[in-house]
């Protein structure tokens, strides 16, 4: 009598038709994918399936949320490089015979490899202009602007050239040659017609501070310390300024700049939208910017109106609805956007997240070395603490949700908690998790998926992962890892299986991890 | 410490907690010998199956602990499914959840973990000689409880027309005396004989069951994959795959890392299977063990689980997990 095997053994046996490594090819890999173990669960009729990056324990691939294999798990590196192109990498030996990751092909979102040559690096044009920038492998030492559709070179360049950005609206892109320190503006249409000559050039360029895809204008830092707005549609006249605020990297609001010793704000046409009239100007955040006037700092709005009168010796940017200011004695305190003091005895205030809708606030250090910590959101403060942690860091996870992490020096434990700043209460209590991270979006998602995130916790020596939704609800718990999250499914590993699991915890498809280990 | 690549996925997720161990003089770390293999005579197979008469339900004798009470368990890669099955049975956890809570550091490092107190119970294959020496040098005495049987199996590409070899033919191949498949009834091709690293569990079986004191030939570095799965991949994907021969343990190669295009060789006319391993007809059978430190108290969770695995209900669990329990 044949002995009965438990479910997992059946799974292992069924997955015996594991995929192997196919040689590099310009056609889709002929290698059959492992047979899905479980019956596909219900998927939304008519909806375009998510294309998820999956991981078999060693290698990455792309599977549709229906379980269909788009790219088998054969790649060490897999990265979206445009809305419909993906760069696929493997380990290749470098000149020292060490194995490094190299992009070996660019593919579409249907599993077709479009190139038969290797790159060291491939970069997205950032604005879906139909261009890719690539650096070829060590043998050619060349870079190129590729046509994203055909993946063939439109313009070959020395690898000293760097791609700065492209603009659909302006129909141009910017390059910078680090060898000659020359930036060049190119018309996309002309390049496609075979005319690689630049529309304009700018010399003495050190680096790009930020690029505005709406206008095609780059803010370029020059070797003499000055800056220039350069680029546009070909008719734009380069605008030079004496200085740009050191901490402006293309964030909220216009650019704080200095001209003839006075500070103001400019848009990306180089026009002063707030005329240079301040002694110093800082970047906008939460709608306000600190400016120095008459020897004291106040705050202006984006019309240039002074909304908090100059009165502070030092002033930081707003984040979470509060800002750290200091008086002439060096005492730090928080103010709200009306200029009212909300907390005294503050030493640091750090913005969290790109939109600075939260902040980590730290009190002055006490004699015992400890200090108080708060998280600010919408001008409201929540005090946080983690065991005996003497240092706490915070990370914005989602609207209103903030991960707090620290190291308990007494127990040696890495502790994390999940705080709902709207209620001031913990969704996950201190120590329940070790850390939180964001989730990878599907390759074909129209916008970055920011509404799911992951909490990692130890069960003895095994690291387990829980998937949270935007509200902080645990969608899936007790996984070993989550690689990519779609609308209703996630690419995960649980136990001895990896595959795609729906949010009810049912496998859409699953494969044994044992058949996929160590294929290098 | 030897630089052996670990079971990568498991290792990446591990953070072993350090803990002191009280070393006691170790008389011996040598497990009990494997049963003598029946070589030529087809022995009547002792069926591992239960009697046809349905027995009355028996009380559950398994020890039961919460996950917090459950001992730190480590072991061999091939025992990972068993480790998960035991965890599920003892804690009442769903098997899928138990798998998610299960990891191992591979045979040599599992013994190291037990000796230094990071693990309290191993489900593990026999250690290689150098690991046994390390255990002996540590002064920590270990108790070995045989709980199951596995076998050293020889694997070739299915395109190889050779279906089986004798023990002496295998010995000649691995001592370098036989170098062409034509010498053993195959085609006129050189033999590419893969081995494993010296501290691996598979290599320990190979040295004990086939080499028996002989020195295997030195092979090119590429013929010594560091992982169990890598050897099987190498056999499947070696440039001249039809020439290659390698070995693994039956459970791993048959259930955990089944690979299309490969086949097991019969040895002395006996194909490795659950039945021929259980009966001992297959020549290269060896035990695997539950191992605890000898000073582990009689009522400790680790000792209770180890002892229970040798009982009838423990054997039934081992069988249900797809392994061949010790008779």
Assign residue B167 the CATH number of its domain: 3.40.190.10
Minimum Cα–Cα distance from B258: chain A residue: A16
- The closest alpha carbon to B264, from B168, B126, B170, belongs to B170
* pLDDT(A27) > 60: no
Q: What is the mean pLDDT of chain A?
A: 85
Weakest-pLDDT range from B83-92, B186-195, B294-303 = B186-195
> Who has greater pLDDT, B241 or B165?
B165
Average pLDDT on B231-258 reads 76
pLDDT value, residue A289: 98
Cα dist from B223 to A281, B7, B153, whole Å: 67, 19, 17
A79: in domain: no
* pLDDT(B213) > 50: yes
The phi-psi region of residue A221 (left if phi > 0; otherwise alpha if psi is between -120 and 50; otherwise beta) is beta
Chain A contact set for B251 (CB, 8 A): none
Pairing of strands B244-249, B142-157: antiparallel
B264 — pLDDT class (breaks 50, 70, 90): very high
B58: in domain: no
Give the Cβ contact number of residue B165 at 10 Å. 23
pLDDT value, residue B317: 96
Distance from CA of B294 to the nearest CA of A (A): 24
* pLDDT(A376) > 60: yes
Q: What is the dihedral of CA A57, A58, A61, A64, to 10 degrees?
A: 0
What are residue A155's DSSP bridge partners?
A145
Cα dist from B306 to B292, B294, B296, whole Å: 8, 12, 11
> Who has greater pLDDT, B238 or A473?
A473
Handedness of CA B131, B132, B137, B141 (dihedral sign): positive
Query: What is the radius of gyration, based on Cα positions, of chain B?
Result: 20
B285 with B37: CB under 8 angstroms? yes
pLDDT value, residue B168: 95
B275: in domain: yes
- The closest alpha carbon to A508, from A33, A7, A34, A41, belongs to A41
Token duo for residue B203: 């290599």
Q: Does B263 touch chain A (CB under 8 A)?
A: no
Q: Which residues 288-327 in chain B show a CB within 8 A of chain A?
A: 319-322
CA distance B247 to B262: 11
Query: Is A463–B15 a contact, with Cβ atoms under 8 angstroms apart?
Result: yes
CA distance B15 to A244: 47
Chain B contact set for A512 (CB, 8 A): 256
pLDDT value, residue A454: 95
Half-sphere exposure of A193 (CA within 13 A, CB side): 7
End-to-end CA distance of chain A: 40
Q: Which of A5, A6, A519 is facing B233, going by the closest CB pair?
A: A519
Minimum Cα–Cα distance from B230: chain A residue: A518
Query: Is B9–A513 a contact, with Cβ atoms under 8 angstroms apart?
Result: yes
pLDDT value, residue A482: 95
pLDDT value, residue A99: 64
Token duo for residue A238: 């380069």
B140: in domain: no
Indicate the angle between helix axes B312-320 and B80-91, nearest 10 degrees: 120
Number of domains in chain A: 1
Average pLDDT on A54-64 reads 91
Angle at A480 between CA A477 and CA A483, to 5 degrees: 95
What whole-number percentage of chain A has pLDDT above 90?
62
pLDDT value, residue A407: 87
CA distance A268 to A229: 7
Number of domains in chain B: 1
pLDDT value, residue B27: 33
The DSSP letter of residue A115 is -
A182: in domain: no
Token duo for residue A71: 């790219």
A511: in domain: no
Average pLDDT on A322-342 reads 96
Average pLDDT on B84-101 reads 96
Taking one residue from A and the other from B, the number of pairs with CB-CB distance under 8 angstroms is 120
A176 — pLDDT class (breaks 50, 70, 90): very high
B51: in domain: no
Report which secondary-structure segment, H or E, holds B317: helix B312-320
A425: in domain: yes
A472-516 pLDDT, tens digit each: 999 999 999 999 999 899 999 999 999 999 999 999 999 988 765
B139 with B308: CB under 8 angstroms? no
pLDDT value, residue A238: 95
Chain B contact set for A480 (CB, 8 A): 13, 100
Q: What is the dihedral of CA B76, B78, B83, B84, to 10 degrees?
A: 140
Weakest-pLDDT range from A32-41, A109-118, A295-304, A497-506 = A32-41
Weakest-pLDDT range from A339-353, A394-408, B29-43 = B29-43
A282 with A245: CB under 8 angstroms? yes
CA distance B309 to B327: 12
| Residue that has been written with the tokens 């590419």 in this structure | B192
CA distance A65 to A54: 10
- The closest alpha carbon to A218, from A258, A183, A168, A260, belongs to A183
Minimum Cα–Cα distance from A459: chain B residue: B101
The distance of Cα B186 from the centroid of its chain, to the nearest Å, equals 29
Query: Is B319–A16 a contact, with Cβ atoms under 8 angstroms apart?
Result: no
Average pLDDT on A438-465 reads 85
Weakest-pLDDT range from A56-60, A73-77, A113-117, A486-490 = A113-117
CB-based contacts of A129-138 (< 8 A; 24+ apart in sequence)? A129/A166, A129/A167, A129/A168, A129/A173, A129/A188, A130/A188, A131/A166, A131/A173, A131/A188, A132/A81, A132/A82, A132/A85, A132/A106, A133/A163, A134/A103, A134/A106, A135/A159, A137/A92, A137/A102, A138/A94, A138/A95
Interface of A with B (CB under 8 A): 1, 3-9, 12-13, 15-18, 20-21, 57-58, 458-464, 478-480, 494-497, 512-515, 517-519
Q: Which of A479, A515, A518 is facing B258, going by the closest CB pair?
A: A515
Token duo for residue B133: 């020496």
Query: What is the radius of gyration, based on Cα positions, of chain A?
Result: 27
pLDDT value, residue B6: 32
A232-246 pLDDT, tens digit each: 998 999 999 999 999
Domain span including residue A466: 391-442+446-482
Weakest-pLDDT range from A286-290, B141-145, B258-262 = B258-262
Domain span including residue B201: 150-279
A494 with A478: CB under 8 angstroms? yes
A212 with A268: CB under 8 angstroms? yes
Token duo for residue B310: 């040798």
Query: Is B258–A16 a contact, with Cβ atoms under 8 angstroms apart?
Result: yes
Query: Is A12–B100 a contact, with Cβ atoms under 8 angstroms apart?
Result: no
Token duo for residue A484: 């990519």
Residues 6 or more apart whose Cβ sits within 8 Å of residue B307: B145
- The closest alpha carbon to B323, from B281, B288, B283, B298, belongs to B288
pLDDT value, residue B198: 75
Backbone angles phi, psi at B113, to 5 degrees: -65, -40
pLDDT value, residue A94: 64
Token duo for residue B101: 């809570």
A365: in domain: no
B55 — pLDDT class (breaks 50, 70, 90): low
Handedness of CA B6, B8, B9, B12 (dihedral sign): positive
B50 with A499: CB under 8 angstroms? no
* pLDDT(B92) > 80: yes
Weakest-pLDDT range from A182-186, B11-15, B213-217 = B11-15
A195 — pLDDT class (breaks 50, 70, 90): confident
* pLDDT(A102) > 90: no
Query: Is B255–A12 a contact, with Cβ atoms under 8 angstroms apart?
Result: yes
CA distance A320 to A285: 10
What whole-number percentage of chain B has pLDDT above 90?
55
> Who has greater pLDDT, A447 or A201?
A201
A71: in domain: no
The distance of Cα B124 from the centroid of its chain, to the nearest Å, equals 7
pLDDT value, residue B143: 97
| Residue that has been written with the tokens 């250090």 in this structure | A365
């Amino acid at each position: 009598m044949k002995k009965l095997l438990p479910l997992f053994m059946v799974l292992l046996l069924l997955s015996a038709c594991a995929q192997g490594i196919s040689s590099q090819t310009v056609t889709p890999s002929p290698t059959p994918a492992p047979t899905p173990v479980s019956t596909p669960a219900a998927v939304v009729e008519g909806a375009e399936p998510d294309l998820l990056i999956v991981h078999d324990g060693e290698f990455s691939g792309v599977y549709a949320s229906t379980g269909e294999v788009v790219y088998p798990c054969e790649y060490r590196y897999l990265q979206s490089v445009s809305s419909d192109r993906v760069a696929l990498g493997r380990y290749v030996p470098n000149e020292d015979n060490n194995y490094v990751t190299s992009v070996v092909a660019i593919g579409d979102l249907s599993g077709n490899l479009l190139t038969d040559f290797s790159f060291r690096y491939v970069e997205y044009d950032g604005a879906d202009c139909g261009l890719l920038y690539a650096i070829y492998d060590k043998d050619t030492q060349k870079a190129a602007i590729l046509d994203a559709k055909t993946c063939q070179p439109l313009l070959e360049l020395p690898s000293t050239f760097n791609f700065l950005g492209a603009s659909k609206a302006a129909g141009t892109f910017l390059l910078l040659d680090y060898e000659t320190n020359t930036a060049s503006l190119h018309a996309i249409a002309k390049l496609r017609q075979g005319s690689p000559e630049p529309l304009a050039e700018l010399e003495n360029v050190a680096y790009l501070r930020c690029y505005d895809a709406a206008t095609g204008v780059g803010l370029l830092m020059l070797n003499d310390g000055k800056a220039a707005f350069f680029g546009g549609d070909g008719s734009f006249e380069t605008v030079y300024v004496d200085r740009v605020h050191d901490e402006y990297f293309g964030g909220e609001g216009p650019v704080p700049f200095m001209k003839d010793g006075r500070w103001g704000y400019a848009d990306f046409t180089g026009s002063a939208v707030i005329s240079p009239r301040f002694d110093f100007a800082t970047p906008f955040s939460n709608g306000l910017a600190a400016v120095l006037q008459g020897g004291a700092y106040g705050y202006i709005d984006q019309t240039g109106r002074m909304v908090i009168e100059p009165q502070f010796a030092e002033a930081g940017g707003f984040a979470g609805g509060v800002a750290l200011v200091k008086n002439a004695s060096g005492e730090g305190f928080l103010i709200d956007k009306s200029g009212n003091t909300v907390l005294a005895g503050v030493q640091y205030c750090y913005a969290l997240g790109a939109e600075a809708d939260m902040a980590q606030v730290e009190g002055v250090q006490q004699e015992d070395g400890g200090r108080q910590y708060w998280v600010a959101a919408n001008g409201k403060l929540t005090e946080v603490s983690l065991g005996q942690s003497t240092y706490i860091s915070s990370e914005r996870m989602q609207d209103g949700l903030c991960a707090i992490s620290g190291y308990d020096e007494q127990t040696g434990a890495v502790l994390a908690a999940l705080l709902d700043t709207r209620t001031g209460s913990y969704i996950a209590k201190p120590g329940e998790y070790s850390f939180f991270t964001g989730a990878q979006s599907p390759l074909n998602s129209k916008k970055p998926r920011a509404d799911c995130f992951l909490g990692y916790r130890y069960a003895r020596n095994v690291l387990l992962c829980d998937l949270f939704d935007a509200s902080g609800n645990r969608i899936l718990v007790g996984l070993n890892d989550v690689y990519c999250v779609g609308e209703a499914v996630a690419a995960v590993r649980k136990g001895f299986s990896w595959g795609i699991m729906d949010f009810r915890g049912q496998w859409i498809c699953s494969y044994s991890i044992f058949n996929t280990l160590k294929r290098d | 410490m030897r630089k052996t690549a670990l079971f990568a996925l498991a290792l990446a997720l591990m953070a072993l907690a350090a803990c002191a161990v009280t070393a006691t003089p170790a008389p011996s770390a040598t497990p009990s010998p494997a049963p003598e293999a029946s070589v030529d005579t087809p022995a009547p197979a002792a069926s591992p199956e239960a009697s046809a008469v349905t027995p009355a339900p028996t009380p559950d004798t398994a020890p039961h602990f919460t996950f917090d009470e459950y001992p730190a368990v480590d072991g061999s890669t091939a025992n990972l499914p068993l480790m998960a099955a035991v965890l599920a049975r003892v804690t009442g956890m769903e098997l899928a959840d138990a798998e998610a809570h299960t990891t191992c550091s591979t045979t040599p490092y599992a013994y190291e973990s037990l000796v230094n107190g990071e693990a309290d119970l191993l489900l593990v294959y026999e250690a290689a000689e150098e690991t046994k020496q390390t255990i002996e040098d540590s002064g920590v005495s270990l108790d070995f409880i045989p709980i199951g049987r596995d076998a050293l199996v020889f694997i070739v590409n299915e395109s190889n027309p050779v279906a089986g070899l004798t023990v002496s033919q295998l010995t000649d191949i691995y001592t370098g005396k036989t170098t062409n498949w034509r010498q053993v009834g195959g085609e006129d091709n050189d033999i590419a004989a893969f081995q494993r690293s010296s501290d691996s569990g598979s290599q320990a079986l190979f040295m004990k069951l086939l080499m028996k004191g002989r020195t295997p030939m030195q092979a090119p570095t590429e013929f010594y994959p560091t992982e169990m799965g890598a050897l099987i991949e190498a056999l499947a994907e070696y440039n001249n795959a039809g020439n290659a021969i390698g070995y693994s343990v039956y459970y791993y190669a048959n259930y955990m890392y089944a690979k299309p295009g490969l086949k097991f060789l019969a040895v002395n006319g006996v194909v490795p299977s659950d039945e021929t391993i259980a009966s001992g007809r297959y020549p290269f059978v060896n035990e695997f063990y539950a191992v605890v430190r000898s000073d582990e108290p009689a009522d400790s969770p680790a000792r209770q689980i180890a002892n229970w695995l040798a009982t009838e209900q423990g054997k039934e669990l081992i069988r249900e997990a797809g392994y061949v329990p010790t008779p």
